[in-house]
Structure 1
Amino acid sequence: MAATEVAPVTLDLDRLENLAESGYYNPYTMFDWPDTIEPDMPWMSEKLTTLGGTPMWDELTREQQLALTRSEAINFFSLNVHGIRELLTEVVLRIHEPTYANVSEFLHHFIGEENEHMWFFSKFCLRYGGRLYPSQPSLRADSVDHLSRTSREMIIFARILIFEEIVDYYNAHMATDASLPFIAREVNRVHHVDESRHVAFGRMVFTELLNQVKQRHPQEVPLVAEYLESYLQYSIATLYNPAAYRDAGIPDALALRRRALSHPARIEAHDQVLKRTRRFLTKSGVGREDIA
Protein backbone atom coordinates (compact mmCIF):
# COMPACT_ATOMS: atom_id res chain seq x y z
CA MET A 1 0.00 0.00 0.00
CA ALA A 2 1.77 3.12 -1.17
CA ALA A 3 1.40 6.34 0.73
CA THR A 4 2.50 8.50 -2.16
CA GLU A 5 0.12 11.32 -1.36
CA VAL A 6 1.58 11.72 2.10
CA ALA A 7 4.76 13.73 2.66
CA PRO A 8 7.72 11.85 4.20
CA VAL A 9 7.57 11.45 7.96
CA THR A 10 10.86 12.69 9.38
CA LEU A 11 11.53 12.11 13.08
CA ASP A 12 14.55 11.89 15.35
CA LEU A 13 14.17 8.42 16.84
CA ASP A 14 17.76 7.78 17.98
CA ARG A 15 16.80 7.76 21.66
CA LEU A 16 13.89 5.37 21.17
CA GLU A 17 15.97 3.06 18.98
CA ASN A 18 18.75 2.99 21.58
CA LEU A 19 16.24 2.20 24.32
CA ALA A 20 14.75 -0.61 22.24
CA GLU A 21 18.19 -2.12 21.66
CA SER A 22 19.51 -1.70 25.20
CA GLY A 23 16.29 -3.00 26.74
CA TYR A 24 15.96 -6.03 24.54
CA TYR A 25 14.86 -9.23 26.27
CA ASN A 26 13.90 -12.73 25.20
CA PRO A 27 10.21 -13.16 26.07
CA TYR A 28 10.36 -16.88 25.41
CA THR A 29 12.72 -17.43 28.34
CA MET A 30 12.03 -14.55 30.74
CA PHE A 31 8.61 -15.64 32.07
CA ASP A 32 8.16 -18.39 34.62
CA TRP A 33 4.78 -19.84 33.62
CA PRO A 34 3.21 -21.74 36.54
CA ASP A 35 1.04 -24.73 35.72
CA THR A 36 -1.94 -23.14 37.45
CA ILE A 37 -2.90 -19.85 39.09
CA GLU A 38 -4.08 -19.68 42.70
CA PRO A 39 -7.89 -20.08 42.57
CA ASP A 40 -8.55 -17.50 45.29
CA MET A 41 -6.68 -14.63 43.57
CA PRO A 42 -8.21 -12.20 41.04
CA TRP A 43 -6.58 -12.14 37.62
CA MET A 44 -7.57 -8.53 36.94
CA SER A 45 -7.64 -5.64 39.40
CA GLU A 46 -11.14 -5.65 40.78
CA LYS A 47 -11.64 -1.91 40.35
CA LEU A 48 -10.70 -2.27 36.66
CA THR A 49 -13.39 -4.82 35.90
CA THR A 50 -16.36 -3.53 33.96
CA LEU A 51 -18.55 -3.75 37.06
CA GLY A 52 -16.02 -2.15 39.39
CA GLY A 53 -17.47 0.57 41.61
CA THR A 54 -21.08 -0.30 40.81
CA PRO A 55 -23.83 -1.99 42.87
CA MET A 56 -23.76 -4.72 40.23
CA TRP A 57 -20.35 -5.80 41.51
CA ASP A 58 -21.59 -5.91 45.10
CA GLU A 59 -24.55 -8.06 44.05
CA LEU A 60 -22.22 -10.83 42.87
CA THR A 61 -21.10 -13.66 45.10
CA ARG A 62 -17.37 -13.78 45.82
CA GLU A 63 -17.12 -16.77 43.53
CA GLN A 64 -18.73 -14.79 40.71
CA GLN A 65 -16.48 -11.80 41.37
CA LEU A 66 -13.35 -13.92 41.07
CA ALA A 67 -14.75 -15.65 38.00
CA LEU A 68 -15.40 -12.25 36.41
CA THR A 69 -11.81 -11.13 37.03
CA ARG A 70 -10.66 -14.30 35.28
CA SER A 71 -12.92 -13.97 32.25
CA GLU A 72 -12.28 -10.24 31.90
CA ALA A 73 -8.51 -10.75 32.16
CA ILE A 74 -8.79 -13.23 29.29
CA ASN A 75 -10.98 -10.78 27.38
CA PHE A 76 -8.49 -7.94 27.98
CA PHE A 77 -5.53 -10.02 26.85
CA SER A 78 -7.55 -11.29 23.87
CA LEU A 79 -8.25 -7.69 22.88
CA ASN A 80 -4.52 -7.09 23.02
CA VAL A 81 -3.88 -10.04 20.71
CA HIS A 82 -6.45 -8.89 18.16
CA GLY A 83 -5.39 -5.25 18.40
CA ILE A 84 -1.73 -6.12 17.93
CA ARG A 85 -2.54 -8.28 14.91
CA GLU A 86 -4.41 -5.35 13.35
CA LEU A 87 -1.67 -2.80 14.00
CA LEU A 88 1.03 -5.19 12.78
CA THR A 89 -0.84 -5.60 9.51
CA GLU A 90 -0.95 -1.84 9.02
CA VAL A 91 2.69 -1.25 9.97
CA VAL A 92 4.05 -4.11 7.84
CA LEU A 93 2.24 -2.65 4.82
CA ARG A 94 4.03 0.66 5.34
CA ILE A 95 7.44 -0.18 6.72
CA HIS A 96 9.35 0.18 3.44
CA GLU A 97 7.21 2.82 1.78
CA PRO A 98 9.04 6.10 0.95
CA THR A 99 6.78 8.03 3.33
CA TYR A 100 8.15 6.06 6.29
CA ALA A 101 11.75 5.52 5.14
CA ASN A 102 13.09 7.74 7.93
CA VAL A 103 11.29 5.76 10.64
CA SER A 104 11.67 2.30 9.11
CA GLU A 105 14.48 1.29 11.47
CA PHE A 106 12.33 1.90 14.54
CA LEU A 107 9.35 0.21 12.88
CA HIS A 108 11.42 -2.98 12.66
CA HIS A 109 11.89 -2.83 16.46
CA PHE A 110 8.19 -2.06 16.82
CA ILE A 111 7.12 -5.06 14.75
CA GLY A 112 9.43 -7.42 16.60
CA GLU A 113 8.27 -6.25 20.02
CA GLU A 114 4.60 -6.30 19.14
CA ASN A 115 4.87 -9.82 17.76
CA GLU A 116 6.41 -10.90 21.08
CA HIS A 117 3.64 -9.14 22.98
CA MET A 118 1.05 -11.00 20.94
CA TRP A 119 2.79 -14.25 21.84
CA PHE A 120 2.82 -13.77 25.61
CA PHE A 121 -0.73 -12.41 25.76
CA SER A 122 -2.01 -15.40 23.81
CA LYS A 123 0.16 -17.72 25.92
CA PHE A 124 -1.57 -16.48 29.09
CA CYS A 125 -5.04 -16.83 27.54
CA LEU A 126 -4.52 -20.32 26.20
CA ARG A 127 -2.58 -21.68 29.17
CA TYR A 128 -4.88 -20.39 31.92
CA GLY A 129 -8.15 -19.58 30.18
CA GLY A 130 -8.09 -22.30 27.54
CA ARG A 131 -9.21 -19.85 24.86
CA LEU A 132 -9.03 -16.49 23.21
CA TYR A 133 -12.26 -14.54 23.00
CA PRO A 134 -13.09 -13.86 19.33
CA SER A 135 -12.34 -10.45 17.90
CA GLN A 136 -15.25 -8.06 18.06
CA PRO A 137 -16.79 -6.12 15.15
CA SER A 138 -14.46 -3.25 14.43
CA LEU A 139 -15.08 0.43 13.84
CA ARG A 140 -13.36 0.14 10.54
CA ALA A 141 -10.96 2.71 9.18
CA ASP A 142 -12.63 2.35 5.76
CA SER A 143 -15.62 4.24 7.15
CA VAL A 144 -13.54 7.36 6.45
CA ASP A 145 -12.86 6.54 2.79
CA HIS A 146 -14.39 9.87 1.83
CA LEU A 147 -11.50 11.71 3.50
CA SER A 148 -8.18 12.58 1.89
CA ARG A 149 -5.36 10.05 1.81
CA THR A 150 -3.44 12.14 4.32
CA SER A 151 -6.30 12.08 6.82
CA ARG A 152 -6.84 8.36 6.36
CA GLU A 153 -3.16 7.67 6.89
CA MET A 154 -3.17 9.77 10.06
CA ILE A 155 -6.25 7.92 11.33
CA ILE A 156 -4.45 4.57 10.98
CA PHE A 157 -1.71 5.74 13.34
CA ALA A 158 -4.24 7.45 15.59
CA ARG A 159 -6.05 4.13 16.04
CA ILE A 160 -2.77 2.44 16.94
CA LEU A 161 -1.94 5.19 19.44
CA ILE A 162 -5.39 5.14 21.08
CA PHE A 163 -5.29 1.35 21.40
CA GLU A 164 -1.85 1.47 23.00
CA GLU A 165 -2.68 4.27 25.43
CA ILE A 166 -5.84 2.57 26.68
CA VAL A 167 -4.08 -0.76 27.09
CA ASP A 168 -1.17 0.91 28.86
CA TYR A 169 -3.49 2.45 31.46
CA TYR A 170 -4.59 -1.03 32.48
CA ASN A 171 -1.09 -2.49 32.26
CA ALA A 172 0.39 0.20 34.49
CA HIS A 173 -2.20 -0.35 37.20
CA MET A 174 -2.12 -4.13 37.16
CA ALA A 175 1.68 -4.32 37.04
CA THR A 176 1.81 -3.16 40.67
CA ASP A 177 -1.39 -4.70 42.04
CA ALA A 178 -0.17 -7.07 44.77
CA SER A 179 -3.54 -8.83 44.87
CA LEU A 180 -2.88 -10.37 41.45
CA PRO A 181 -0.86 -13.52 40.75
CA PHE A 182 2.79 -12.83 39.94
CA ILE A 183 2.49 -14.01 36.33
CA ALA A 184 -0.42 -11.63 35.68
CA ARG A 185 1.56 -8.73 37.15
CA GLU A 186 4.62 -9.65 35.09
CA VAL A 187 2.76 -9.82 31.79
CA ASN A 188 1.29 -6.39 32.45
CA ARG A 189 4.60 -4.97 33.66
CA VAL A 190 6.65 -6.12 30.70
CA HIS A 191 4.10 -4.80 28.24
CA HIS A 192 3.93 -1.46 30.06
CA VAL A 193 7.70 -0.96 29.79
CA ASP A 194 7.70 -1.54 26.04
CA GLU A 195 4.55 0.51 25.45
CA SER A 196 6.15 3.62 26.90
CA ARG A 197 8.38 3.72 23.80
CA HIS A 198 5.57 2.81 21.44
CA VAL A 199 3.30 5.53 22.79
CA ALA A 200 6.08 8.11 22.48
CA PHE A 201 6.66 7.06 18.88
CA GLY A 202 2.94 6.97 18.13
CA ARG A 203 2.42 10.49 19.37
CA MET A 204 5.28 11.76 17.22
CA VAL A 205 4.00 10.12 14.03
CA PHE A 206 0.43 11.19 14.78
CA THR A 207 1.49 14.80 15.32
CA GLU A 208 3.47 14.97 12.09
CA LEU A 209 0.67 13.45 10.02
CA LEU A 210 -1.94 15.64 11.68
CA ASN A 211 0.12 18.71 10.83
CA GLN A 212 0.00 17.61 7.20
CA VAL A 213 -3.78 17.33 7.43
CA LYS A 214 -4.05 20.80 8.94
CA GLN A 215 -1.91 22.28 6.19
CA ARG A 216 -3.45 20.46 3.23
CA HIS A 217 -7.01 19.63 4.27
CA PRO A 218 -8.00 21.87 7.19
CA GLN A 219 -11.69 21.35 6.45
CA GLU A 220 -11.28 17.68 7.43
CA VAL A 221 -9.98 18.34 10.94
CA PRO A 222 -13.48 18.33 12.57
CA LEU A 223 -14.32 15.10 10.72
CA VAL A 224 -11.12 13.51 12.00
CA ALA A 225 -11.96 14.67 15.54
CA GLU A 226 -15.43 13.09 15.23
CA TYR A 227 -13.99 9.78 14.07
CA LEU A 228 -11.41 9.68 16.86
CA GLU A 229 -14.07 10.35 19.48
CA SER A 230 -16.10 7.47 18.06
CA TYR A 231 -13.03 5.25 18.19
CA LEU A 232 -12.41 6.12 21.84
CA GLN A 233 -15.96 5.12 22.71
CA TYR A 234 -15.75 1.96 20.61
CA SER A 235 -12.48 0.93 22.27
CA ILE A 236 -13.91 1.30 25.77
CA ALA A 237 -17.03 -0.66 24.81
CA THR A 238 -14.96 -3.68 23.70
CA LEU A 239 -14.00 -4.25 27.33
CA TYR A 240 -17.67 -5.02 28.08
CA ASN A 241 -17.95 -8.49 26.60
CA PRO A 242 -21.23 -10.35 27.29
CA ALA A 243 -19.39 -13.64 26.80
CA ALA A 244 -17.16 -12.80 29.76
CA TYR A 245 -20.25 -12.25 31.93
CA ARG A 246 -21.71 -15.57 30.83
CA ASP A 247 -18.45 -17.38 31.51
CA ALA A 248 -18.48 -15.91 35.03
CA GLY A 249 -21.93 -17.41 35.58
CA ILE A 250 -23.73 -14.07 35.51
CA PRO A 251 -27.19 -14.15 33.87
CA ASP A 252 -28.75 -11.61 31.49
CA ALA A 253 -25.37 -10.71 30.00
CA LEU A 254 -26.62 -8.31 27.32
CA ALA A 255 -28.81 -6.38 29.75
CA LEU A 256 -25.97 -6.26 32.24
CA ARG A 257 -23.65 -4.87 29.59
CA ARG A 258 -26.08 -2.05 28.82
CA ARG A 259 -26.51 -1.21 32.51
CA ALA A 260 -22.80 -1.27 33.19
CA LEU A 261 -21.79 0.86 30.19
CA SER A 262 -24.18 3.63 31.19
CA HIS A 263 -23.62 3.53 34.96
CA PRO A 264 -22.21 6.83 36.36
CA ALA A 265 -19.41 5.02 38.18
CA ARG A 266 -18.29 3.38 34.95
CA ILE A 267 -18.56 6.60 32.96
CA GLU A 268 -16.31 8.20 35.55
CA ALA A 269 -13.93 5.25 35.23
CA HIS A 270 -13.91 5.67 31.43
CA ASP A 271 -13.00 9.32 31.86
CA GLN A 272 -10.01 8.30 33.97
CA VAL A 273 -8.87 5.73 31.43
CA LEU A 274 -9.15 8.24 28.57
CA LYS A 275 -7.95 11.32 30.46
CA ARG A 276 -4.39 11.29 29.16
CA THR A 277 -5.42 10.55 25.58
CA ARG A 278 -8.19 13.15 25.56
CA ARG A 279 -5.79 15.77 26.89
CA PHE A 280 -3.35 14.97 24.10
CA LEU A 281 -6.02 15.04 21.38
CA THR A 282 -7.41 18.33 22.68
CA LYS A 283 -3.94 19.89 22.71
CA SER A 284 -3.44 18.59 19.17
CA GLY A 285 -6.68 20.24 17.99
CA VAL A 286 -8.74 17.08 17.38
CA GLY A 287 -10.48 16.67 20.73
CA ARG A 288 -14.19 16.49 21.46
CA GLU A 289 -14.26 20.28 21.44
CA ASP A 290 -13.16 20.33 17.80
CA ILE A 291 -16.01 18.26 16.37
CA ALA A 292 -18.10 20.27 13.91
Structure 2
Amino acid sequence: MASSPVRPETQDRLHEHVVAQRLLDSAATLSYDPATEVDWETPLDKNFHGASPEWSTLYGTAYWGELTEAQRKELTRHEAASVASTGIWFEMILQQMVLRDIYAKDPTDAEFQWALTEVAEECRHSIMFARGAQKLGAPAYRPHRFAIELGRAFKTVAFGEAAYAAILVAEEVLDVMQRDWMRDDRVVPFVRTINNIHVVEESRHMKFARDETLKRLKKVGWVRRQIHAFVIAIASYVIVTSMVNRGVYANAGLDRKRALGEARANEHHKSMMRSSCSGLMDFLASARLLTKPALIFYKRANLI
Protein backbone atom coordinates (compact mmCIF):
# COMPACT_ATOMS: atom_id res chain seq x y z
CA MET A 1 0.00 0.00 0.00
CA ALA A 2 1.45 3.37 -1.07
CA SER A 3 2.24 5.82 1.70
CA SER A 4 0.29 9.05 1.85
CA PRO A 5 2.11 12.08 0.46
CA VAL A 6 3.54 14.47 3.02
CA ARG A 7 1.44 17.61 3.24
CA PRO A 8 3.20 20.87 2.26
CA GLU A 9 2.55 22.31 5.73
CA THR A 10 4.28 19.33 7.32
CA GLN A 11 7.22 19.67 4.95
CA ASP A 12 7.54 23.35 5.83
CA ARG A 13 7.51 22.64 9.56
CA LEU A 14 10.12 19.93 9.14
CA HIS A 15 12.34 22.31 7.15
CA GLU A 16 11.95 25.04 9.77
CA HIS A 17 12.85 22.61 12.55
CA VAL A 18 15.94 21.37 10.69
CA VAL A 19 17.15 24.93 9.98
CA ALA A 20 16.60 26.04 13.58
CA GLN A 21 18.42 22.96 14.93
CA ARG A 22 21.37 23.60 12.62
CA LEU A 23 21.58 27.17 13.87
CA LEU A 24 21.46 25.97 17.47
CA ASP A 25 24.23 23.46 16.76
CA SER A 26 26.31 26.18 15.11
CA ALA A 27 25.86 28.48 18.10
CA ALA A 28 26.90 25.66 20.43
CA THR A 29 30.15 25.04 18.55
CA LEU A 30 31.09 28.50 17.20
CA SER A 31 30.30 31.33 19.58
CA TYR A 32 32.47 33.87 21.36
CA ASP A 33 32.50 35.62 24.69
CA PRO A 34 33.57 39.22 23.91
CA ALA A 35 34.45 39.77 27.57
CA THR A 36 37.40 37.40 27.19
CA GLU A 37 38.01 37.32 23.41
CA VAL A 38 38.52 41.07 22.93
CA ASP A 39 41.61 42.81 24.30
CA TRP A 40 40.00 45.43 26.51
CA GLU A 41 43.10 46.07 28.62
CA THR A 42 45.66 47.37 26.10
CA PRO A 43 45.37 51.17 25.78
CA LEU A 44 44.09 52.54 22.46
CA ASP A 45 46.87 52.86 19.90
CA LYS A 46 46.12 56.01 17.90
CA ASN A 47 48.45 54.91 15.10
CA PHE A 48 45.57 52.77 13.81
CA HIS A 49 42.32 53.56 12.06
CA GLY A 50 38.96 52.68 13.58
CA ALA A 51 37.70 51.39 10.23
CA SER A 52 39.08 50.83 6.75
CA PRO A 53 39.76 54.34 5.39
CA GLU A 54 37.96 53.52 2.14
CA TRP A 55 34.73 53.24 4.15
CA SER A 56 35.05 56.74 5.57
CA THR A 57 32.29 59.11 4.48
CA LEU A 58 34.98 61.60 3.40
CA TYR A 59 37.32 59.20 1.60
CA GLY A 60 37.96 60.41 -1.94
CA THR A 61 36.81 63.99 -1.29
CA ALA A 62 38.90 67.14 -1.54
CA TYR A 63 38.63 67.52 2.24
CA TRP A 64 40.05 64.02 2.78
CA GLY A 65 43.05 65.00 0.66
CA GLU A 66 43.76 67.93 2.97
CA LEU A 67 43.65 65.91 6.19
CA THR A 68 46.76 64.63 7.93
CA GLU A 69 47.05 60.90 8.59
CA ALA A 70 46.38 61.55 12.27
CA GLN A 71 43.16 63.42 11.39
CA ARG A 72 42.03 60.65 9.07
CA LYS A 73 42.59 58.04 11.76
CA GLU A 74 40.73 60.12 14.33
CA LEU A 75 37.80 60.51 11.93
CA THR A 76 37.57 56.77 11.17
CA ARG A 77 37.66 55.99 14.89
CA HIS A 78 34.67 58.27 15.47
CA GLU A 79 32.86 56.87 12.43
CA ALA A 80 33.43 53.30 13.64
CA ALA A 81 32.09 54.25 17.07
CA SER A 82 29.02 55.83 15.46
CA VAL A 83 28.33 52.70 13.40
CA ALA A 84 28.67 50.60 16.57
CA SER A 85 26.23 52.85 18.42
CA THR A 86 23.72 52.62 15.58
CA GLY A 87 24.18 48.84 15.72
CA ILE A 88 23.25 48.87 19.41
CA TRP A 89 20.13 50.93 18.68
CA PHE A 90 18.90 48.53 16.03
CA GLU A 91 19.89 45.39 17.94
CA MET A 92 17.67 46.57 20.78
CA ILE A 93 14.80 46.96 18.30
CA LEU A 94 15.57 43.51 16.87
CA GLN A 95 15.56 41.83 20.28
CA GLN A 96 12.15 43.22 21.14
CA MET A 97 10.64 42.18 17.80
CA VAL A 98 11.99 38.64 18.09
CA LEU A 99 10.77 38.26 21.67
CA ARG A 100 7.34 39.56 20.69
CA ASP A 101 7.24 37.13 17.77
CA ILE A 102 7.88 34.05 19.93
CA TYR A 103 5.79 35.15 22.90
CA ALA A 104 3.64 32.25 24.18
CA LYS A 105 4.96 29.83 21.54
CA ASP A 106 6.11 26.28 22.27
CA PRO A 107 9.37 26.54 24.28
CA THR A 108 10.33 22.97 23.36
CA ASP A 109 10.42 23.91 19.67
CA ALA A 110 13.89 24.40 18.13
CA GLU A 111 12.75 27.67 16.55
CA PHE A 112 11.78 29.09 19.94
CA GLN A 113 15.12 28.08 21.43
CA TRP A 114 17.06 29.46 18.47
CA ALA A 115 15.22 32.79 18.76
CA LEU A 116 16.28 33.08 22.41
CA THR A 117 19.83 32.12 21.44
CA GLU A 118 19.84 34.92 18.86
CA VAL A 119 18.61 37.41 21.44
CA ALA A 120 21.38 36.29 23.81
CA GLU A 121 23.99 36.80 21.09
CA GLU A 122 22.59 40.23 20.27
CA CYS A 123 22.81 41.21 23.93
CA ARG A 124 26.49 40.28 23.95
CA HIS A 125 27.03 42.18 20.70
CA SER A 126 25.44 45.33 22.11
CA ILE A 127 27.67 45.25 25.18
CA MET A 128 30.68 44.56 22.94
CA PHE A 129 29.85 47.52 20.67
CA ALA A 130 29.32 49.78 23.69
CA ARG A 131 32.69 48.90 25.19
CA GLY A 132 34.34 49.19 21.78
CA ALA A 133 32.96 52.69 21.16
CA GLN A 134 34.06 53.72 24.65
CA LYS A 135 37.58 52.41 24.06
CA LEU A 136 37.75 54.31 20.76
CA GLY A 137 37.39 57.48 22.83
CA ALA A 138 34.08 58.49 21.29
CA PRO A 139 31.01 59.97 22.97
CA ALA A 140 27.65 58.19 23.00
CA TYR A 141 26.42 58.66 19.44
CA ARG A 142 22.65 58.32 19.06
CA PRO A 143 20.40 58.52 16.02
CA HIS A 144 18.38 61.68 15.42
CA ARG A 145 15.35 62.04 17.68
CA PHE A 146 12.99 61.49 14.76
CA ALA A 147 14.76 58.18 13.94
CA ILE A 148 14.53 57.09 17.57
CA GLU A 149 10.78 57.70 17.64
CA LEU A 150 10.28 55.92 14.30
CA GLY A 151 12.24 52.99 15.72
CA ARG A 152 10.05 53.01 18.81
CA ALA A 153 6.95 52.76 16.63
CA PHE A 154 8.48 50.17 14.31
CA LYS A 155 9.48 47.77 17.09
CA THR A 156 5.98 48.03 18.52
CA VAL A 157 3.93 47.37 15.40
CA ALA A 158 6.16 45.62 12.86
CA PHE A 159 5.47 41.92 12.38
CA GLY A 160 6.10 39.07 9.98
CA GLU A 161 8.12 39.79 6.86
CA ALA A 162 8.36 43.52 7.68
CA ALA A 163 10.19 42.78 10.93
CA TYR A 164 12.51 40.09 9.57
CA ALA A 165 13.37 41.84 6.29
CA ALA A 166 14.25 45.03 8.17
CA ILE A 167 16.44 42.97 10.51
CA LEU A 168 18.14 41.49 7.45
CA VAL A 169 18.84 44.90 5.92
CA ALA A 170 20.58 46.16 9.05
CA GLU A 171 22.63 42.98 9.41
CA GLU A 172 23.63 42.76 5.73
CA VAL A 173 24.85 46.35 5.50
CA LEU A 174 26.98 45.97 8.64
CA ASP A 175 28.25 42.56 7.52
CA VAL A 176 29.87 43.73 4.29
CA MET A 177 31.75 46.68 5.77
CA GLN A 178 32.84 44.70 8.82
CA ARG A 179 34.26 41.93 6.64
CA ASP A 180 36.57 44.54 5.15
CA TRP A 181 37.50 46.02 8.53
CA MET A 182 38.29 42.70 10.20
CA ARG A 183 40.86 41.82 7.49
CA ASP A 184 42.49 45.26 7.38
CA ASP A 185 45.74 45.51 9.36
CA ARG A 186 45.40 49.31 9.32
CA VAL A 187 42.45 48.94 11.71
CA VAL A 188 43.14 48.83 15.45
CA PRO A 189 43.36 45.15 16.52
CA PHE A 190 40.57 45.13 19.11
CA VAL A 191 38.11 46.53 16.54
CA ARG A 192 39.14 43.81 14.09
CA THR A 193 38.36 41.21 16.77
CA ILE A 194 34.96 42.81 17.44
CA ASN A 195 34.17 42.77 13.73
CA ASN A 196 35.23 39.14 13.37
CA ILE A 197 33.00 38.06 16.25
CA HIS A 198 30.06 39.97 14.83
CA VAL A 199 30.51 38.64 11.28
CA VAL A 200 30.72 35.00 12.43
CA GLU A 201 27.70 35.15 14.72
CA GLU A 202 25.58 37.40 12.49
CA SER A 203 25.87 34.91 9.61
CA ARG A 204 23.46 32.72 11.59
CA HIS A 205 21.10 35.63 12.20
CA MET A 206 21.04 36.54 8.51
CA LYS A 207 20.22 32.95 7.54
CA PHE A 208 17.32 32.96 10.00
CA ALA A 209 16.06 36.39 8.84
CA ARG A 210 16.10 35.34 5.18
CA ASP A 211 14.22 32.12 5.90
CA GLU A 212 11.67 33.89 8.09
CA THR A 213 11.10 36.61 5.50
CA LEU A 214 10.42 34.09 2.72
CA LYS A 215 8.26 31.93 5.01
CA ARG A 216 6.07 34.87 6.03
CA LEU A 217 5.67 35.98 2.41
CA LYS A 218 4.32 32.64 1.15
CA LYS A 219 0.67 33.40 1.74
CA VAL A 220 0.81 37.17 1.61
CA GLY A 221 -1.59 39.02 -0.68
CA TRP A 222 -0.75 41.88 -3.04
CA VAL A 223 -1.88 44.66 -0.70
CA ARG A 224 0.07 43.44 2.33
CA ARG A 225 3.16 42.85 0.18
CA GLN A 226 2.97 46.43 -1.16
CA ILE A 227 2.52 47.92 2.31
CA HIS A 228 5.30 45.91 3.91
CA ALA A 229 7.68 46.51 1.00
CA PHE A 230 7.21 50.23 1.60
CA VAL A 231 7.65 49.90 5.39
CA ILE A 232 10.84 47.85 4.94
CA ALA A 233 12.24 50.46 2.55
CA ILE A 234 11.56 53.31 4.99
CA ALA A 235 13.14 51.32 7.84
CA SER A 236 16.17 50.63 5.64
CA TYR A 237 16.52 54.31 4.77
CA VAL A 238 16.39 55.35 8.43
CA ILE A 239 18.89 52.66 9.49
CA VAL A 240 21.45 53.43 6.78
CA THR A 241 21.26 57.22 7.06
CA SER A 242 21.67 56.96 10.85
CA MET A 243 24.92 55.00 10.74
CA VAL A 244 27.30 57.95 10.79
CA ASN A 245 26.22 60.64 13.21
CA ARG A 246 26.67 64.24 12.10
CA GLY A 247 28.61 64.92 15.27
CA VAL A 248 31.59 62.76 14.26
CA TYR A 249 33.18 65.54 12.20
CA ALA A 250 33.32 68.18 14.92
CA ASN A 251 34.39 65.58 17.48
CA ALA A 252 37.24 64.58 15.17
CA GLY A 253 38.33 68.22 15.00
CA LEU A 254 37.01 68.94 11.49
CA ASP A 255 34.91 71.74 10.01
CA ARG A 256 31.44 70.26 10.53
CA LYS A 257 29.66 72.25 7.82
CA ARG A 258 32.24 71.54 5.14
CA ALA A 259 32.54 67.87 6.10
CA LEU A 260 28.78 67.35 5.97
CA GLY A 261 28.58 68.96 2.54
CA GLU A 262 31.39 66.89 1.05
CA ALA A 263 30.15 63.68 2.70
CA ARG A 264 26.66 64.15 1.20
CA ALA A 265 28.14 64.57 -2.28
CA ASN A 266 30.73 61.79 -1.94
CA GLU A 267 30.23 59.51 -4.94
CA HIS A 268 32.88 57.07 -3.72
CA HIS A 269 30.98 56.35 -0.51
CA LYS A 270 27.69 56.06 -2.39
CA SER A 271 29.33 53.52 -4.71
CA MET A 272 30.66 51.53 -1.73
CA MET A 273 27.17 51.35 -0.25
CA ARG A 274 25.59 50.26 -3.53
CA SER A 275 28.15 47.54 -4.19
CA SER A 276 27.92 46.24 -0.61
CA CYS A 277 24.14 45.88 -0.91
CA SER A 278 23.93 44.20 -4.31
CA GLY A 279 23.27 40.77 -2.78
CA LEU A 280 20.66 42.20 -0.43
CA MET A 281 18.87 43.98 -3.28
CA ASP A 282 18.88 40.74 -5.31
CA PHE A 283 17.21 38.96 -2.39
CA LEU A 284 14.58 41.68 -1.94
CA ALA A 285 13.91 41.62 -5.68
CA SER A 286 13.48 37.83 -5.66
CA ALA A 287 11.04 38.23 -2.75
CA ARG A 288 9.14 40.86 -4.79
CA LEU A 289 9.78 43.54 -2.20
CA LEU A 290 11.41 46.05 -4.56
CA THR A 291 8.21 47.85 -5.48
CA LYS A 292 8.29 51.24 -7.21
CA PRO A 293 7.52 53.22 -4.02
CA ALA A 294 10.13 51.20 -2.11
CA LEU A 295 12.79 51.86 -4.75
CA ILE A 296 12.54 55.59 -4.07
CA PHE A 297 13.86 55.10 -0.53
CA TYR A 298 16.53 52.57 -1.49
CA LYS A 299 17.85 54.99 -4.10
CA ARG A 300 17.81 57.89 -1.62
CA ALA A 301 19.80 55.73 0.80
CA ASN A 302 22.26 54.86 -2.03
CA LEU A 303 21.53 51.16 -1.65
CA ILE A 304 20.65 50.70 -5.31
CA separation in 1, counterparts of 2:82 and 2:185?
21
**Which residues of 2 match residues 49-198 of structure 1 at below 5 A?**
49-98=56-105, 103-129=111-137, 131-136=139-144, 137-138=146-147, 139-140=150-151, 142=153, 152-198=159-205
How much does 1:287 deviate? 1.7
CA separation in 2, counterparts of 1:143 and 1:114?
18
What TM-score, normalized to structure 2? 0.82
2:51 maps to 44
- Counterpart residue type for residue 283 of structure 2: F
Q: Which moved more, 1:101-110 or 1:72-81?
A: 101-110
Q: Which of 252, 258, 261 is the matching residue for 2:256?
A: 252
Q: Is the 8 A contact 2:105 2:112 kept in 1?
A: no
RMSD (CA atoms): 2.8
Q: Is the 8 A contact 1:117 1:191 kept in 2?
A: yes
Q: Which of 280, 283, 287 is the matching residue for 2:286?
A: 283
Q: Does 1:240 align with 2:248?
A: no
- Relative to structure 1, the CA distance from residue 240 to residue 195 in structure 2 (aligned partners, 3 Å threshold; closer, same or farther) is same
What TM-score, normalized to structure 1? 0.85
How much does 1:124 deviate? 1.1
Tell me the secondary structure at the aligned position of residue 58 of structure 1: helix
Q: Which of 230, 233, 249 is the matching residue for 1:229?
A: 233
Q: Which of 203, 207, 215 is the matching residue for 2:214?
A: 207
Q: Spell out, residue by residue over 1:238-280, the C-alpha distance to the aligned partner (whole angstroms, 9 max, x if none).
A: 1232100111111134x53344234322221220122121111
Q: Spell out, residue by residue over 1:143-179, the C-alpha distance to the aligned partner (whole angstroms, 9 max, x if none).
A: 799xxx8x84321122111111111112111111111
1:270 maps to 273
How much does 1:95 deviate? 2.5
- Counterpart residue type for residue 159 of structure 1: A
Number of corresponding residues: 278
CA separation in 2, counterparts of 1:235 and 1:155?
14
1:261 maps to 264
CA separation in 2, counterparts of 1:111 and 1:60?
41
CA separation in 2, counterparts of 1:144 and 1:34?
36
Q: Is the 8 A contact 2:50 2:80 kept in 1?
A: yes
Q: Does 1:33 align with 2:36?
A: no
Q: Spell out, residue by residue over 1:120-157, the C-alpha distance to the aligned partner (whole angstroms, 9 max, x if none).
A: 11111223325321233324484799xxx8x8432112
Name the % identity.
Answer: 22
Q: Is the 8 A contact 2:49 2:188 kept in 1?
A: yes
How much does 1:99 deviate? 9.0
Q: Unaligned stretches of 5+ in structure 2?
A: 1-8, 296-304
1:3 maps to none
Q: Is the 8 A contact 1:240 1:257 kept in 2?
A: no
Moved over 6 A (4+): none
CA separation in 2, counterparts of 1:130 and 1:59?
23
